[in-house]
């Protein structure tokens, strides 16, 4: 199982740093975020080190997604969350600060202070078509 000795999340996997683990299996660990956005904010990581979404192996990505779904269900059932955000940041420009793939499971409550980081507005149809053409295939 690949690890990175400088990675804080690898140190949690190895038991070298403490974490409040809420779920684990052979591929993943889910633990409480120490800087939570909302009550119950949890991180789900693969045990194997992968820098980001572009490097993670498919089996680990599937395992993290499944674990994230289970934690989200618990947040709804046990914490009374009204909704859940699943967030992954890939790269510094996308707000990634720990370079070990992770999924934020953020329980949402109707009265919590979080808001979208952008204001949804109608996009330019030509730009949308151009981007779509570049992404096809």
What are the catalytic residues? 102
Yes or no: say if 74 and 112 are a contact pair by the CB < 8 Å rule.
no
DSSP-derived letter for residue 17 is S
Cα 119 from Cα 55, distance rounded (Å): 30
**Bridge partners of 42?**
32, 105
Rg (Cα) of the chain, in Å, rounded?
17
DSSP-derived letter for residue 27 is S
Q: What is the largest CA-CA distance in the chain?
A: 52
Yes or no: say if 63 and 28 are a contact pair by the CB < 8 Å rule.
yes
């Amino acid at each position: 199982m690949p690890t990175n000795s400088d990675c804080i999340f690898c140190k949690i996997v190895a038991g070298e740093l403490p974490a409040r683990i809420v779920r684990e299996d052979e591929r993943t660990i889910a633990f409480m975020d120490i800087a939570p956005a909302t009550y119950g904010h949890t991180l789900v990581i693969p045990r194997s080190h992968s820098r980001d979404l572009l490097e993670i192996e498919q089996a680990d990505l599937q395992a993290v997604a499944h674990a994230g779904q289970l934690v989200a269900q618990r947040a709804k059932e046990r914490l009374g969350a009204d909704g859940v955000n699943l967030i992954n940041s890939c790269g510094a420009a996308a707000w990634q600060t720990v370079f070990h793939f992770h999924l934020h499971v953020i329980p949402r409550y109707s009265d919590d202070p979080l808001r979208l980081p952008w204001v949804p507005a109608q996009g330019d149809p030509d730009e949308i078509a151009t981007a779509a053409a570049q992404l096809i295939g």
